[in-house]
Structure formats: structure tokens, C-alpha cells
Structure 1
Amino acid sequence: MFTLIICLLFAGLFAGMLFSVELGRRIGLGTIRRNPDGLAKGIGPVEGAVFGLLGLIIAFTFAGAESRFENRRHLITEEANAIGTAYLRIKLLPPDTQPEVRELFRRYLDTRVSAYRNVEDEATTKANLEKSTALQEEIWQKSITACERPDLPKHSGILVFTALNNMIDITNTRATATIDHPPFVILLLFFALSFISSLLVGYNMSVNNRRHWFHPVAFAAIVSLTVFVILDIEFPRRGLVRVDRADKPLLELRQSMLNSQQSNKTAP
């Protein structure tokens, strides 16, 4: 669905830019008919400013989208590290409490992986996020109960809760990163500058008696494709450019938990 939407935006921008080229050409032809001196002179600085601003907006939005894409990938790795550290520090808890907490961790990791697997299914995503929050609370409460035992060293509780706190904090950071996008007005400005630039292209090409479509089509295609790529990168769980491969650390951690569970069962 999301890919269809950005494809429609691509087609709309492309068609709109070609329409603007034709409109600019007709404005230019009308100017030539009315004015024996031809097109307006000395407008080069104005055109340069418009095209320069369009290039600046393209560079700004593309760099921002790429930066946010990389940040989301790094946050997945950070969450895997935080969960892995907290999971290892379960060994500091009393031995009889460890199996239950480890099982909660495995369930928690499953919900975290599933929550971002198919974000277009908003109901399932919301349910998994709520489930992971509930498991966080359960892990926290179980750890508190275990650390309240008088025979447990005080420093063990500090180490356990520091790791748990980091594990919980990273979930909020990831949630914020998923909704971190440039303001909608930037996209509107992008479209407006694209249409105005196309208008200027058509105006300058009106000096030719015949239509020449190669350069206008190439210009419209390049700008529209750039918008398509930027929007696709901005939503890396929905479009063609995917961040799913970055889930590998979480999946490897899940497998290591399973292997640890199997080895504990087979241990004498």
C-alpha cells in the first residue's frame, strides 16, 4: 500500500512537472508574440536562485533521510546489545529465579522482533508493543523480588537494574525514531519548487519553434525519482528500501538464548 502511494506521488509529480513545462512554454510564446524584443532579459539570477534552492532542498532532505535510516539501523544493534547484556546479568540473580526470568526475556525478545516486522498491520504492531511493555514490567517486578533477598549482594542488584534500565530506555528511543520525519511543509516546498523550476524551463525553451521533450522529460524524471527514493528511505519498514536486514543481531540473540536453554536442559 505504501509503495503504491509513493508511486502515485512519483507519477503525479512527473506529470505535474511536464504540465508546468508546457505551461511555461506557452507563457513564453505569448510573451514573444506580444513583445518584439522576445523573452525577458536579465532573469538569469532569478532562475539560478530557484534552481539553487531546489538543489539545496534535495540535498537537505536526502541527507536527512539517509541519516535517519542509518540511525534506525544502529538503534536495532543497540537494542540487541542492551537485551543481551541484561540477559547475561540474570546470572547475578538467585539461581532458583533465573529460569523464569530467562523465559520472560525470550518472550520479550520475540515481541520486540515481531513489533517491527510488519508495521503496515497497525493492530498487530500495537498489540506486540503493548505486550512487550507488559513483559518489561513483569521482568522488572520479578527482578525486584529476586534482588530483595538478604543473601544477594547489593552490587548484583545495581548491575541488574542498570542493564534493565538501558534495555527499557532503548525501546522509547526506537519508538521515537520511527516517527522522526521532516515536516510536511518541506515536501510541499519540494513540490512547489519542482513545478516552478519546470515552468522556467518551459519558458526558456519557448524560443524554439518545435517542442523538444528530451530535456524536460529527463529533468522531471530525475526530480520525481529523487522524491521517490527519499520517501522510500524515510519509511524503511514499508517501501522498497528495507531495514529488515538490520534485525539480524536480534535474531542471532534469540537463537543464542535458545541454544543456551537447550544446553542447560542437557547439562547433567
Structure 2
Amino acid sequence: MIKSYDSIWMFSVALFVLLIVFMRFGYHLDRQQRRRSGDNDNNGVSHINGTVSTLIGLLLGFTLSGAATGFQQRQVLIAQEANAIGTAYLRLDLLPKSAQAPLRSLFREYLQARLDTYKAPAGSPAAHTAYLQSLRLQAALWQQGTSAALVTNNTAIVSLMASALNATFDMTTTRLVAARTHPPLIIFIVLFGVALIAALLAGYGMASSPKIS
């Protein structure tokens, strides 16, 4: 799984270089074959090249469609987490006055930790540190929030506070899973392989193309 922008750039550069290498290899392969046989007919390779190009187009279309769907789902999860945090923050009004200020301060720290998690580059130490900080704050919020709710001796307040905190914390796991969900590695391997085959066939066909004087 590609975890950082540096890895994406390395992957892209490697693919670009290999495409050029395979095109050159196909070009020289065809030149050598025609020198030996003296046959310039390349219709069969042209048909195969068209088929492979169609295949890679379909694979790219399905992959991009899946990536776009995943991106939209992650955008929805951002809104859902923001709503969950907002609901839990508002329900602090149900707790005793003495407990509200410390809990609001914890919530502000928790919100900042969640923002820092996704502001940092994916897979970076900064993102991991911010994520662990959010988990520690979750434990503190749950302990202090439920304790303050129990002090009221009101089961409705306890239920409302616990459900709001639980929904807020559940979104952390939901977003983490969504962020780590990508097309299977085999898809990228197939795309990589088909692209190299297409480059090889394209180079093979270029050698017999008529030259413009």
C-alpha cells in the first residue's frame, strides 16, 4: 500500500522510465526481426496493441471510479465526525457546572489532535503521534464525562452523554479504516504489467510505421 506522497512520486517516475525502456526495447526488437525476415507486415501486432490499450483503459476506468467513490465516502465521514463531536460538546451542558469547563478544555484538545492527525502527511510520525494523543484524550473524556453524568443520578443524562461520546470515538476507527482502504495491490500490479506490455507493443509498431519525409 502506498503510504506517502514520496512513494507515489517514486512509483510514478519508475513507471515512466520503464515505459520508455519498454518502448525502446520493442522498437529495436521489431527492427531486428524485420532485418532477419525482411517482412514489414505488422498488422497482427497493431491489433494486439489496440486490444491491450482497450484493456488498460478499462482497468484505469474501474480503478479511478473506485478511488473517486472512496474519496467521496471519506468526505462524508469528515462531516459525520464533525457532527458527532459537536453533539457531544453540546451535551456537556447537561452535566454539573463544575465538570463542564474541564471537559470543554479536553474536547478542544481532542479536536486539535484529530485535526493534527489529518494535517500531517499520511503515514508520517507526526500523524501517528497525533493519533495516539487523540486516543489518550478519548480515555480521559470517557472517564470524566461518564463520571460527571453519573453524579447527576439521571439515567437519561447518562445515556445521552455515553451515546454521544461513543459515537464520537467510533468515528475515529471508521475514518482510520476508510483512510487505509485502497484498491488491492494486485490491481496495481496488473495495471503496471499491462502498461508495460502496451509500451512494448507500441514501440514494436513504431519501427514499421511509415516515416514522414
In 1, Cα distance between equivalents of 2:18 and 2:150: 67
Instruction: Give yes or no for contact 2:49–2:202 (8 Å, CA) kept in 1.
Output: no
Q: Note the 1:98-247 alignment, pairs <5 A.
A: 98-119=100-121, 122-149=124-151, 151-208=152-209, 210=211
Aligned residue number for residue 260 of structure 1: none
Q: Which amino acid aligns with 1:39?
A: D
| Greater Cα offset, 184-193 or 75-84 | 184-193
Partner SS state of residue 207, structure 1 = coil
In 1, Cα distance between equivalents of 2:124 and 2:172: 17
Structure 2 residue runs of 5 or longer lacking an equivalent are none
In 2, Cα distance between equivalents of 1:4 and 1:147: 47
1:17 correspondence with 2:19: yes
Structure 1 residue runs of 5 or longer lacking an equivalent are 212-268
In the TM superposition, what is the alpha-carbon distance from 1:27 to its structure 2 partner?
2.3
In the TM superposition, what is the alpha-carbon distance from 1:18 to its structure 2 partner?
2.1
Aligned residue among 79, 82, 89 for 1:80: 82
Aligned residues: 210
Moved over 6 A (4+): none
RMSD over aligned Cα atoms: 2.5
Partner SS state of residue 148, structure 1 = helix
Aligned residue number for residue 229 of structure 1: none
Partner SS state of residue 119, structure 2 = coil
Q: Deviations over 1:93-139 (max 9, x none)?
A: 22222222112111111111112221368333222222211211111
TM-score scaled by structure 2?
A: 0.85
Instruction: Give yes or no for contact 2:42–2:208 (8 Å, CA) kept in 1.
Output: no
